[in-house]
């Protein structure tokens, strides 16, 4: 059985207490398959863990008595790391870029901003476009609406309006998403890249 890691300065750690680091007189024990064993002394729980060649892991320290489960802690940590990596991978598949425009934007600046939006959409990213109003411009929301509609029309071949223009304080916001086929192909590309990175992480020697 393993002992729970502890920092050199004795600081609190985020990992659960396991085995002989569980300092309570009794626990509510849960078996390796999730079955309820009941309330047993810590000594009995540790004996059962040793007999089963498993670890005793405190999974609910604030319960009364604390809840501990018999499990292979090394395997549990590995699977948890895999799930966290998968969650990060899925999160990376949806990216929202942001582009800010002034209401009185000059033609050259508009073309530059439009080019950025087109590049984001080609990469499979959604784009949140914000028109910022200054002073008296706030009394002319229809001008912001027309500007956003113009931009949406200019990039229509690459994306579609997912969230129509709406007032948000001194700003007006619209979200454009890439067409589904573009988003799907980009998702495949990102997934392959994430899997390659995950494989590299797993093959890297541990410190």
Sheet strands (E) in 61-170: 67-71, 96-102, 126-132, 159-168
pTM of the full structure? 0.46
CATH of 96-184, one of 2.40.50.180, 3.30.110.10, 3.40.50.700, 3.40.50.150: 3.30.110.10
Boundaries of every domain in the chain: 1-74, 96-184
Question: How far is Cα 9 from Cα 19, in angstroms, rounded to an integer?
Answer: 21
C-alpha 194/C-alpha 42 separation (Å) is 43
List pLDDT tens digits, range 34-63: 999 999 999 999 999 999 999 999 999 999
Side-chain-facing half-sphere of 178: CA atoms under 13 Å: 23
What is the C-alpha to C-alpha distance for residues 24 and 44, in angstroms, rounded to an integer? 12
Task: Give, in words, the CATH class of 1-74.
Answer: alpha beta
Q: How much of the chain, in percent, has pLDDT values that exceed 90?
A: 59
92-145 pLDDT per residue, tens:
566 789 999 999 999 999 999 999 999 999 988 999 999 999 888 888 899 999
- What's the pLDDT tens digit per position in 139-184? 889 999 999 999 999 999 999 999 999 988 889 999 999 987 555 5
Q: What share of the chain is helix, strand, coil (3-state, %, to 5)?
A: 45, 25, 30
């Amino acid at each position: 059985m393993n002992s729970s890691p502890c920092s050199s300065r004795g600081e609190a750690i985020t990992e659960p207490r396991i085995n002989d680091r569980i300092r309570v007189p009794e626990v509510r024990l849960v078996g390796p398959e999730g079955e309820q064993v009941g309330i047993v002394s810590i000594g009995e729980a540790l004996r059962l863990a040793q007999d089963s060649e498993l670890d005793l892991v405190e999974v609910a320290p604030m319960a009364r008595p604390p809840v501990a489960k018999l499990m292979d802690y090394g395997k549990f940590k590995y699977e948890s790391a895999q799930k966290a990596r998968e969650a990060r991978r899925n999160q990376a598949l949806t990216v929202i870029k942001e582009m800010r425009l002034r209401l009185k934007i000059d033609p050259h600046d508009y073309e530059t901003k439009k080019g950025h939006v087109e590049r984001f959409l080609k990469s499979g990213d959604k784009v949140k476009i914000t028109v910022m109003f200054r002073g008296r411009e706030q009394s002319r929301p229809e001008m912001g609406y027309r500007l956003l509609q113009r931009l949406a029309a200019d990039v229509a071949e690459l994306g579609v309006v997912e969230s129509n223009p709406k007032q948000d304080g001194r700003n007006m916001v619209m979200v454009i998403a890439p067409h589904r086929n573009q988003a799907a192909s980009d998702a495949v590309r990102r997934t392959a890249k994430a899997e390659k990175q995950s494989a590299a992480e797993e093959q890297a020697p541990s410190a």
